[in-house]
Amino acid sequence: MSKKVRVRFAPSPTGGLHIGGVRTALYNYLYAKKHHGDFILRIEDTDQNRYVEGAEDYIVNALAWCGLTFDESPKKGGDYGPYRQSERKAIYLEYAEKLVELGKAYYAFDTTEELAEQRKELESSGRTFIYNSKNRQALSNSLSMTEEEFKSKRSSGANYVIRFLTPEDETIELYDSVRGSMQIDSNILDDKVLFKSDGMPTYHLANIVDDHLMKITHVIRGEEWLPSLALHKQLYDAFGWDTPEFSHLPLILKPTGKGKLSKRDGEKGGFPIFPISWKDSIGYREAGYFPEAVINFLALLGWNPGTEQELFSLDQLVEVFSIERVHSAGARFNLDKTKWMNQQYMQIYDEKQLGEAFAKELYSQPKGMLSKFSIDYIVNVVTLIKERAVFISDFWELSNYFFIAPLKYNSKAIKKQWKPDTAAILKQSIDIFQEVREFNSEAVETDIKSWIANQNLSLGKVMPPLRLVLVGDMKGPHIFDVIALIGKNETISRIETAIKKLG
């Protein structure tokens, strides 16, 4: 590539950032970093009617949580700012009028009421109203007016818009790196408004002008913008500018595979669609997902590496990512796969970090007694139980017996494991626990199993009941790891308590 790669993520601050938007940002980031280029954030806030307070900060914070950092942005600055369109609005009229001078655009004075009447009239006969070469000469614009009429209209202060002059009877050649070559008949296109009567540009004009001035080389955006590609290509050609390479990403589909994933799908299915919480909607962060897992599963929604590998760090994704392996078909959201991904990251996540996160939950318990456990103890507990966890919020259910002795015992396990001689056998085991010199998992296991063998007992006579009285259920990691961690005194105390309760 001769030019330095420059890509941009250009959201509108109209609400929370859907995970589809996060994936678009991710693919832009990966492409830029793969080619040692720049990743830019531009806020497209020309539609002030839909602007939502706090949405811009939310977008920045959400992407930061995902590990996506910008080389240029409204807050970071850069050589091609400002990076908010509302701060650039003074430049757009100049470019709209430039197109008029080049004969590629024109002024239109049609009122909303006049256009509504035209639309109603055509729809009554089963036709569709399109403002283009088929009817523009019969409408109120600078093409249908004499020079005197036009000057009079302008001097009267009448509201106007500037529309793109779509050519008649032309075949527009398009190329998208995901979908290949396409051809569009210009006669099916309308003359889009480029500059509005309120003095603000439309998305189409502002987008093209900003991309050109910011030297954007590759436009990677969602499939919903594919219908705009013909206009955008024509605008580049009209200005005589180099056209960037376009890539339109596939939709993220509902879990059923039918239709675009929406907020309602998340509410109905009980899963997040925002990276971090927005308004009353919980985010992946608050639901307990690791950012690395979110980035990993989003990367695989619409792209594949061409191998069987499924777990990738962000740096590894940068190394292997390519636009050529992005699918053109929609990618179905799979909740089970996202949970599986989070569980895989649980296994490789730093245990001290997991322990510290769990400790915050434990230390905030109203019982207060949990604060007596050291962070080292909690980390050791996490090490033993994390392979069964999907989220940190699962830790308490999986490990509460490490902190609090069982208050009750699984009734089905009692019927199956507690025999007439169980209490006597466990009472004898107390002496063995008392005599173990180095109270670690290996030493305790050796001594207990030697005692079992010497007494001609079976493991089934001792080990299941022992787990029941220590844990309260037939669950948990290797029982001797549990014994070593809760310690000699607690082990003996729990056996004695169970003998009294279950007799």
Active site residues: 263
CA–CA dist 343, 398 (Å, integer): 14
CA–CA dist 358, 334 (Å, integer): 27
DSSP for 62-113, written as a single string: HHHHTT---SBBTTTB-TT---BGGGSGGGHHHHHHHHHHTTSEEEE---HH
Largest CA distance in the chain: 115
User: Can you list the alpha helix ranges (DSSP code H) found in 214-275?
Assistant: 229-239, 263-269
Tokens of 478: 């290797």
CA atoms within 13 A on the CB side of 55: 16
CA quadruple 41, 44, 48, 50: dihedral, nearest 10: -90
CA–CA dist 150, 161 (Å, integer): 13
Residue tagged 């309602």 (tokens): 264
CA–CA dist 361, 393 (Å, integer): 9
CA–CA dist 83, 71 (Å, integer): 12
Q: Is the peptide bond before 82 cis (omega within 30 degrees of 0)?
A: yes
- For residue 53, the one-letter residue type is E
Tokens of 275: 């990276």
CA atoms within 13 A on the CB side of 364: 7
| Coil/strand/helix, residue 470 | helix
CA–CA dist 206, 212 (Å, integer): 10
Between the CA of residue 384 and those of 111, 347, 485, what are the distances in Å? Answer: 71, 11, 10
Q: Is the peptide bond before 465 cis (omega within 30 degrees of 0)?
A: no
DSSP for 281-301, written as a single string: B-BTTTTT--HHHHHHHHHTS
The helix (H) or strand (E) run that includes residue 313 is: none
Q: Classify the phi-psi angles of 126: left when phi > 0, otherwise alpha if psi is within -120 to 50, otherwise beta.
A: left
Tokens of 95: 């470019």
Cβ proximity of 185 and 171 under 8 Å:
yes
- For residue 327, the one-letter residue type is H
Number of Cβ atoms within 10 Å of the Cβ of 438: 9
Q: Determine the angle formed by the axes of helices 422-435 and 488-502, rounding to 10 degrees.
A: 170
